[in-house]
């Protein structure tokens, strides 16, 4: 049974029943409603390479569709949601939400906006992790990843080198920190704080300008690309498998001498 309560201008509360398997939100569709889960479980997922990749499972008290607060009335949904068991959701009319949002002090609007933007990036990270896990469980890897790892397995030197890396499409002054744990002629294994991925996307395919010192006066500069992502051994750490996409002849020679036994 659907329950609707109205004010003079718009409904303030609508409760909807969903059966197990019902689609609540579809990625790519245009929608502005925000939902609160009253009972049941809802799965959030995105499409990646033709398959559904689970981002999260939400339960009672959780909110879905919150990006509508940040985006315009005509922006597509960034993820899908479906009931994984019989569920009841409370639908909040966007006019009510935006009315309340407008009354907030500007500083709180800024904080909410930043939090939602970060959430979008984290959702993308979560979907990337889920996809990597599915591929590992199925013993399937992309051809480019296979070729890269085959080259990397030939010889990798364990190191502990501090480095800086810069998103390829960002200003030079934006520099992120990381620790190179091993290096080969084809790439590096880079350990980073997961917080780095909050402000800047860290997904397979993203490119970065990476620089480190192999020795005190021997600097290495390359353009690298994320091939895979794994959780680090420590909490809040990530390990990025990065392939070299562009390296000068001079830097290639420096790396070659460094890798010599």
Give yes or no for a contact between 240 and 225, defined as CB atoms under 8 angstroms apart.
Answer: no
Q: What does the DSSP 8-state code read for residue 110?
A: H
Query: CA–CA separation, 45 vs 37, rounded Å?
Result: 16
Question: What pTM was computed for the model?
Answer: 0.48
**What is the reported pLDDT for 6?**
47
pLDDT of residue 175: 84
Burial class of residue 261, CB neighbours in 10 A (0-12, 13-18, 19+): exposed
Q: What is the pLDDT along the chain (261 residues), one digit of tens a residue?
A: 454 444 445 455 689 999 999 999 988 887 778 889 999 999 988 776 677 777 778 889 888 886 665 554 556 777 889 999 999 999 887 666 667 767 778 777 677 666 666 665 555 555 555 555 554 554 444 445 555 555 554 568 999 999 999 988 776 667 899 999 999 988 999 999 887 876 677 888 889 999 999 998 899 999 999 988 887 777 778 899 999 999 999 999 999 899 887
pLDDT at 181: 94
Closest CA to 132 of 53, 56, 198, 186: 53
Q: In sequence order, what E strands does the chain have?
A: 3-6, 11-18, 23-25, 34-39, 42-48, 51-58, 63-64, 80-83, 87-92, 157-167, 176-183, 187-193, 207-215, 218-231, 237-246
Is residue 95 within 8 A of residue 167, CB to CB? The reply is no
Burial class (CB in 10 A: 0-12, 13-18, 19+), 230: middle
Closest CA to 81 of 117, 36, 115: 36
Per-residue confidence (pLDDT) for residue 188, from 0 to 100: 94
pLDDT at 110: 72
The span from the CA of 223 to the CA of 209, in Å, is 5
Q: What DSSP string runs through 115-160?
A: HHHHHHHHHHHHHHHHHHHHHHHTT---HHHHHHHHHHHH--EEEE
Q: Domains in the chain, please, with CATH?
A: 3-133 (2.60.120.10), 143-259 (2.40.10.220)
Nearest 10 degrees: Cα torsion 242, 243, 245, 250: 100
């Amino acid at each position: 049974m659907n329950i609707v309560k109205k004010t003079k201008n718009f409904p303030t509360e609508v409760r909807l029943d969903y059966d197990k398997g019902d689609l609540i939100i579809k990625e790519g569709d245009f929608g502005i409603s925000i939902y609160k889960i009253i009972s049941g479980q809802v799965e959030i997922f995105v499409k990646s390479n033709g398959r559904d990749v689970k981002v999260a499972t939400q339960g009672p008290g959780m909110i879905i569709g919150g990006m509508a607060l940040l985006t315009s009335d005509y922006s597509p949904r960034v993820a899908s949601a479906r009931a994984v068991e019989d569920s009841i959701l409370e639908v909040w009319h966007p006019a009510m939400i935006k009315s309340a949002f407008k009354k907030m002090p500007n500083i709180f609007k800024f904080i909410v906006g930043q939090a939602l933007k970060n959430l979008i990036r984290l959702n993308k990270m979560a979907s990337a992790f889920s996809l990597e896990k599915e591929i590992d469980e199925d013993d399937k890897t992309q051809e480019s990843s296979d070729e890269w790892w085959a080259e990397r397995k030939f010889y990798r030197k364990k190191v502990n080198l501090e480095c800086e890396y810069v998103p390829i499409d960002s200003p030079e002054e934006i520099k992120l920190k990381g620790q190179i744990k091993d290096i080969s002629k084809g790439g590096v294994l880079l350990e980073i704080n997961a917080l780095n991925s909050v402000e800047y996307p860290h997904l397979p395919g993203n490119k970065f300008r990476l620089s480190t010192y192999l020795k005190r006066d021997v600097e290495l500069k390359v353009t690298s690309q994320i091939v895979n992502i794994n959780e680090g051994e420590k909490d809040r750490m990530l390990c990025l498998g990065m392939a070299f996409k562009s390296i000068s002849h001079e830097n290639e020679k420096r790396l070659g001498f460094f890798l010599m036994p």
